[in-house]
Amino acid sequence: MHDLTLELDDRPGALAAMAETLGAAGISIEGGGVFTVDGRAVAHFLFQDGEAASSALRAAGIGVRDCRPVLVRRLDQDRPGQLGAITRALADAGVNIEAQYSDHDHRLILLVDDPAMAAAVTASFEP
């Protein structure tokens, strides 16, 4: 799984153009979201094949900033404090979380600065 960091125009239809481009290329979005702050839209979306998604979006003139592997974990949704437990384990190991969201299968998606360390300290949360 790969996270694509995208820069979208802050205007009506920008997200639609992105999604239509991917649909036309037969590429499914597995999770993610878009956030606009101070007139700047940044999106993080999850793909099985990040390179294929990246190529399709770039060909359509959509700004792809980065394509990176993600850490996929599952939280016990019936136990309060799960997000705190996993993020504390990462913080204590010195791992910075750059993006966090959920996929369509209710798994936690983490984009981190040290994937190997993050995988090691969160192994008990593996799906």
Q: Does the pTM exceed 0.85? A: yes
How large is the angle between the packed helices 14-24 and 50-59, nearest 10 degrees? Answer: 120
Q: Is 56 left (phi over 0), alpha (psi -120 to 50) or beta?
A: alpha
Angle at alpha carbon of residue 104, lines to 126 and 85, rounded to 5° = 40
The ranges assigned to domains in the chain are: 2-68, 71-125
CATH architecture type of domain 2-68:
2-Layer Sandwich (3.30)
| Mean pLDDT, range 67-94, rounded to an integer | 95
Question: How many Cβ atoms from other residues are within 10 Å of residue 115's Cβ?
Answer: 15
- Correct CATH for 71-125 of 3.40.50.300, 3.30.2230.10, 3.40.50.620, 3.30.70.260: 3.30.70.260
Q: Is the pLDDT of residue 54 over 90?
A: yes
64 forms bridges with which residues in the sheet?
6
Q: Is the pLDDT of residue 116 over 90?
A: yes
